[in-house]
Amino acid sequence: MKQGCKTLLCRLGFAVGVISLLSSLGCELLQSAGSYPETAAWQVSMDTVFPEGKPANPFIQQLIDSLKSRTLSGAEVSEEEFKELLQCASTVVYQEKVIKYATPQSVEIQNKEHEDFSRIFLKSKRIKQGAEFLQTHDSTLTAAQVKHQVKKQDIVSILMWESGLGEFVGDHLIFNIFLGQLLYLDEARTVAVKHLIADGALDSSAVTITAAEKARLQRLKKSALRNLISLIRMGKEKGYDAARVKGSWGGAIGYVQFMPNSMQFAVDGDANGQIDLSTWPDAIFSVANYLQKNGYGASDRARRRAIHAYNPLDSYVAGVVKYANAIWERYESSHKKN
């Protein structure tokens, strides 16, 4: 943290545990920030967010206006408080991650990763791990299943896919992730296309951005805006420093990998008066609550629809269902033997 941060937002203690599943499996294009000399000047700072004292773009202006709103969830944050928070923040921009979002091949890359995850998680070792988790946390999982009417194996499967059952720890500053997207997503798309053309993955016509591609980038920026607003406003209300919260490269928090805008589904599973998504009771009940609130039901269609709401990729849904079925089969088999 930089020196001289004296406002409430800068003094608040960091209280959010974070876990993430970090991967670049099958992605040869996106290697490191050093691969993209064009991004060397990218940073999160007062000068880049407020060049010449004015918001860098309409999304930054929307951010300021929304932070001051009296109708949104969380506490009101003034422009002065936001600027103090910005002064406290790191200047880092995760260039390769912004490019990963911006590239026209983004969905293809993510689907490839999830296909790779399927091969990893459906190995005997991981299936055994999931079945053992079902046994170890049986009482908590059963309680969540009864309360939310969500199969316990689906809860465990999502926790495996999201954080490897707590094995993978995210170390990205979420404040910088989202602010970096608001500042540089358009430039990142240009850089990504340039390198794809140079590598022969795209032809030169890809330089021209299509209406569909432009709309996709706008959706990504709107998502980053919503999550950044939630992160900062909830940080002030709940008492954590939004500039220091760490998580996945996509900005997700805890074993459950909730985005800040999804924290509405987080619950106090162990009834200790605090919500900590890096504890199993809170993580288990929060996943169950999320699925229930998003239409989870007894039918396969309802089950898949709710999982799709968690992550809207068909490869993710298929992988979660396969793993859930596999660990449940092993769990039941071991009980029959006993």
- Identify whether residues 90 and 199 lie together within a single domain: yes
Residue 56 lies in a domain: yes
- Identify whether residues 274 and 239 lie together within a single domain: no
CA triplet 255, 257, 263: central angle to 5 degrees? 110
- Identify whether residues 183 and 203 lie together within a single domain: yes
Q: Is the pLDDT of residue 34 over 60?
A: no
Give the residue-averaged pLDDT of 257-281.
Answer: 89
- Identify whether residues 149 and 275 lie together within a single domain: yes
Note the helical H segments in 5-94: 8-11, 46-49, 58-67, 79-88
3-state SS of 183-243 is HHHHHHHHHHHHHHHHCCCCCHHHHCCCHHHHHHHHHHHHHHHHHHHHHHHHHHHHCCCCC
Half-sphere exposure of 96 (CA within 13 A, CB side): 15
The domain spanning residue 317 has which CATH number?
Answer: 1.10.530.10
What does the pLDDT read at residue 237?
86
What does the pLDDT read at residue 335?
78
Give the residue-averaged pLDDT of 78-107.
Answer: 90
Give me Rg for the CA atoms of the chain. Answer: 21
pLDDT digits over 182-198, tens only? 999 999 999 988 988 88
Domain boundary among 204, 220, 247: 247
Q: How far apart are CA 93 and CA 56, in angstroms?
A: 16
What does the pLDDT read at residue 30?
38
Phi/psi of residue 17, each to 5°? -80, 145
What does the pLDDT read at residue 25?
31
pLDDT digits over 40-85, tens only? 999 999 999 999 999 999 999 999 999 999 999 989 999 999 999 9
User: Do the Cβ atoms of 233 and 73 come closer than 8 Å?
Assistant: yes
User: Do the Cβ atoms of 2 and 92 come closer than 8 Å?
Assistant: no
Closest CA to 127 of 153, 104, 93, 98: 153
- Identify whether residues 220 and 311 lie together within a single domain: no
Q: Which residues contact 60 (CB under 8 A, 6 or more apart)?
A: 49, 50, 182, 183
Name the pLDDT band for 152 (thresholds 50, 70, 90).
very high
- Identify whether residues 289 and 228 lie together within a single domain: no
What does the pLDDT read at residue 150?
98
- Identify whether residues 181 and 316 lie together within a single domain: no
Which comes out higher in pLDDT, residue 41 or 274? Answer: 41
pLDDT digits over 246-256, tens only? 888 889 988 99
What does the pLDDT read at residue 109?
61
* 36 token code pair: 């993209």
* 140 token code pair: 């908590």
DSSP 163-183: HTTTT----EEHHHHHHHHHH
What does the pLDDT read at residue 327?
97
Q: Which residue's entry shows tokens 């910088």? A: 176
Give the residue-averaged pLDDT of 96-117.
Answer: 73
Residue 17 lies in a domain: no
Report in angstroms the alpha-carbon separations of 40 from 32, 33, 95, 191, 250: 12, 8, 9, 12, 21
Total structural domains in the chain? 2
Q: What is the enclosing helix (H) or strand (E) of 160?
A: helix 152-163
Name the pLDDT band for 23 (thresholds 50, 70, 90).
very low
SS3 66: helix
Describe the crossing of helices 124-136 and 314-337 by its angle, rounded to 10 degrees.
Answer: 70
- Identify whether residues 88 and 30 lie together within a single domain: yes
Name the pLDDT band for 6 (thresholds 50, 70, 90).
very low
* Enclosing domain of residue 190: 24-97+171-247
- Identify whether residues 264 and 331 lie together within a single domain: yes
What does the pLDDT read at residue 139?
98
Residue 288 lies in a domain: yes
SS3 253: strand
SS3 269: coil
What does the pLDDT read at residue 298?
94
Mean pLDDT for the chain?
Answer: 86
What does the pLDDT read at residue 126?
94
- Identify whether residues 148 and 269 lie together within a single domain: yes
Closest CA to 29 of 88, 109, 86: 109
- Identify whether residues 261 and 330 lie together within a single domain: yes
